[in-house]
């Protein structure tokens, strides 16, 4: 009799059904599925649960939405999630489920722990993290931090995040060249530093297109050459393709208002689009690119240094093109969603046997 296939339940923070339908029509990348759609190639059955009731509960109360899954997870071998710590707390700490194994995709535990150093909540957070069966970190810095915090290194893995490089290659939507030269900055996380960016581009002869929420620029006086907008991804794709390069300005990593990994998905998008990137020096970003190879790394919240880097790439378009080419080669070689799924497979199998 053949071995039983491992059954994995993915729990996403946001809705995925509409995005899956768009992905099947090649109108959306598979990046946000965290390798789920590739796991069948490695002998694993993976799925997520979504219906009108779940989406209704999600909109009313995120914590109530999480707890809905308590009644669903027992038939799976592994649950893979990137949020829902309340679900982990009830399943592992309160109900003490030995199975399913819970594996956590870590994008915010560093800042969560830093924000909760004392009190009952701090105790609950640490106990919940300790109960997780395996933690996957998209940066080595996160893994090292958790180990320093006293969590077992045996269950913490560094796995670089994946990007749907094929989508950037194959999609033919909205490939109309822009009439004007512009640089692009994207990101809605509160760890972004658009204040430094707009100060750096004042009086530079180039348009700056920012794709973010209005909340990201509250109190910031945008110069005449900068604009902000919200776009569906298929339109954002056109901006990636037509920009000169991408700038990802983030606040100092000591600032714990945003995600640990602020900027890393936009960085991967830019690399897959074949664009050079300018990023703030941040431990969770700089291991994805090398300074001077795929882009430039600048001191965070430093207007002069960011301005100098922007001007350097504007003055040397061939340099920017070469960096973009190397970035795309690296993304295709090391950072695809299929490679991510292959790495997950090993961890899912190892953890399920424990």
Instruction: Determine the pLDDT at residue 172.
Output: 54
**pLDDT tens-digit readout, 137-155:** 999 999 999 999 999 999 9
Instruction: Name the CATH topology of 165-334.
Output: Rossmann fold (3.40.50)
Instruction: Determine the pLDDT at residue 34.
Output: 97
**Nearby residues of 138 by Cβ (< 8 Å), 6 or more positions away:** 105, 106, 107, 158, 159, 160, 161, 261, 264, 284
Given a cut of 60, whether residue 174 has pLDDT beyond it is no
Given a cut of 90, whether residue 60 has pLDDT beyond it is no
Question: How many angstroms separate the Cα of 188 from the Cα of each of 19, 105, 185?
Answer: 19, 20, 10
Do 332 and 165 touch, CB atoms closer than 8 A?
yes
Q: What is the mean pLDDT of residues 284-294?
A: 94
Q: What is the mean pLDDT of residues 161-168?
A: 95
How far apart CA 332 and CA 160 sit, in angstroms, is: 13
CATH of 6-162+336-352 given 2.60.120.260, 1.10.10.10, 3.40.50.970, 3.40.50.2000? 3.40.50.2000
Instruction: Determine the pLDDT at residue 225.
Output: 96
Start and end residues for every CATH 3.40.50.2000 domain found in the chain: 6-162+336-352, 165-334
Do 251 and 244 touch, CB atoms closer than 8 A?
no
Q: What is the mean pLDDT of residues 124-132?
A: 97
End-to-end Cα separation, the chain, in angstroms: 23
Strand segments, DSSP code E, in the chain are: 6-11, 44-48, 78-81, 101-105, 134-137, 156-158, 182-186, 207-211, 226-229, 246-248, 277-280, 295-298
Q: What is the mean pLDDT of residues 37-43?
A: 97
């Amino acid at each position: 009799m053949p071995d039983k296939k491992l059954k994995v339940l993915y729990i996403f923070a946001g809705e995925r059904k509409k995005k899956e339908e768009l992905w099947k029509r090649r109108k959306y990348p598979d990046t946000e599925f965290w390798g789920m759609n590739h796991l069948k190639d490695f002998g694993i059955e993976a799925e997520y649960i979504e219906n009108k009731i779940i989406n209704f509960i999600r909109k009313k109360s995120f914590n109530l939405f999480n707890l809905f899954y308590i009644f669903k997870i027992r038939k799976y071998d592994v649950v893979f999630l990137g949020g829902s710590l309340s679900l982990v707390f009830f399943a592992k700490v309160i109900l003490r489920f030995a199975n399913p194994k819970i594996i956590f995709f870590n994008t915010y535990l560093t800042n969560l722990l830093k924000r909760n150093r004392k009190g009952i909540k701090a105790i609950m957070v640490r106990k919940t993290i300790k109960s997780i069966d395996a933690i996957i970190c998209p940066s080595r810095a996160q893994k090292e931090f958790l180990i320093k915090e006293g969590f077992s290194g045996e269950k913490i893995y560094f796995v670089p995040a994946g990007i749907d490089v094929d989508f950037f290659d194959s999609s033919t939507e909205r490939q109309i060249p822009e009439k004007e030269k512009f640089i692009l900055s994207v990101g809605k996380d509160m760890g972004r530093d658009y204040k430094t960016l707009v100060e750096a581009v004042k009086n530079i002869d180039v348009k700056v297109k920012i794709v973010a929420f209005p909340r990201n620029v509250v109190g910031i006086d945008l110069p005449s050459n900068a604009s902000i907008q919200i776009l569906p991804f298929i339109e954002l794709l056109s901006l990636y393709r037509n920009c000169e390069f991408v700038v990802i300005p983030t606040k100092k990593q000591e600032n714990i208002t945003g995600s640990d990994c602020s900027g890393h998905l936009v960085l991967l998008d830019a690399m897959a689009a074949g664009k050079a990137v300018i990023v703030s020096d941040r431990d969770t970003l700089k291991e994805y690119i090398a300074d001077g190879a795929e882009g430039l790394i600048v001191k965070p919240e430093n207007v002069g240094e960011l301005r100098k880097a922007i001007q350097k790439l504007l003055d040397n378009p061939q340099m920017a093109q070469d960096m973009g080419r190397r970035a795309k080669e690296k993304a295709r070689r090391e950072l695809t969603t299929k490679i991510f799924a292959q790495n997950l497979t090993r961890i899912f199998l190892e953890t399920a046997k424990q």
